[in-house]
Amino acid sequence: KAGVTQTPRYLIKTRGQQVTLSCSPISGHRSVSWYQQTPGQGLQFLFEYFSETQRNKGNFPGRFSGRQFSNSRSEMNVSTLELGDSALYLCASSRQGSEAFFGQGTRLTVV
Amino acid sequence: GESVGLHLPTLSVQEGDNSIINCAYSNSASDYFIWYKQESGKGPQFIIDIRSNMDKRQGQRVTVLLNKTVKHLSLQIAATQPGDSAVYFCAENTGSNYQLIWGAGTKLIIKP
């Protein structure tokens, strides 16, 4: 079956702009989590959605938001982009209580 | 706060030797642990997991050991190959929610 799909793969934005990233989970997976990964850093948890509800949230400013649709697809939005938002954004889907499967990520560069 | 940390940020191993990657966790309530491998330009890939009611689990060329007494997790890779070059992350879950808590990662370098 198809894996986790993230679009777009690469994105270049200007400071102050906003961006929306998309994630399509594995069929049957209702949990979708988002992570930020900066060079040489680990994975920083952004938020997790389950059945269209945000169930967990990491320690990121309110400029970072997300949502999940009834088909479990998820989007995350970053408003008023800053240079420090440049990172690889990873989406992971899972069945409840099991391992997470990651997409290839969206590489966001803010200039 | 809760944290998962790795002892060594970089590990160099001779091809064919065994690799051991270590991870410490601080939350004694964690009951599920996972190891992921992330190759350059790719998302993390699941390797192996273990629940707290076990202290050892084996996969293909990999073994995870869990020592709950000292809150330590390790990943052993047998006969390390060039394709094992990657960053390895451990993650834990307390079971109270479904958020994984991640370590910083260890970069495994294979010497020919």
Residues of A in contact with B101 (CB under 8 A): 45
Q: In whole angstroms, how far apart are CA B74 and each of A38, A105, B11, B24?
A: 24, 27, 13, 9
**pLDDT above 70 covers what percent of chain A?**
95
Average pLDDT, chain A: 92
**For the ranges A63-67, A75-79, B76-80, B92-96, which has the lowest average pLDDT?**
B92-96
Calculate how close chain A gets to B95, using CA atoms only, in Å.
Answer: 8
Query: Does B7 score more than 50 pLDDT?
Result: no
Query: Does B58 score more than 60 pLDDT?
Result: yes
**pLDDT above 70 covers what percent of chain B?**
89
Mutate one of A30, A43, A56, A90 to test the B interface: name it (highest B CB count within 10 A).
Answer: A43
Nearest-angstrom CA–CA distance, B102 and B88: 11
Calculate how close chain B gets to A18, using CA atoms only, in Å.
Answer: 24
**What pLDDT shows up at residue A40?**
65
Residues 59-88 on A with a CB inside 8 Å of B are: none
Q: Does A15 touch chain B (CB under 8 A)?
A: no
CB neighbourhood size of B111 (10 A): 11
**What pLDDT shows up at residue B56?**
97
Do A36 and A103 contact (CB within 8 A), yes or no?
A: no
Nearest-angstrom CA–CA distance, A54 and A64: 13
Amino acid sitting at position A76: M
Nearest-angstrom CA–CA distance, B47 and B1: 26
**What pLDDT shows up at residue B97?**
62
Work out the average pLDDT over B103-110: 89
**For the ranges A59-68, A93-102, B54-63, which has the lowest average pLDDT?**
A93-102
Mutate one of B35, B50, B99 to test the A interface: name it (highest A CB count within 10 A).
Answer: B99
- Binned at pLDDT 50, 70 and 90, residue A64 comes out as very high
Q: Which residues contact A88 (CB under 8 A, 6 or more apart)?
A: A36, A37, A38, A105, A106, A107, A108
Check CB contact under 8 Å for A104 and B42.
Answer: yes
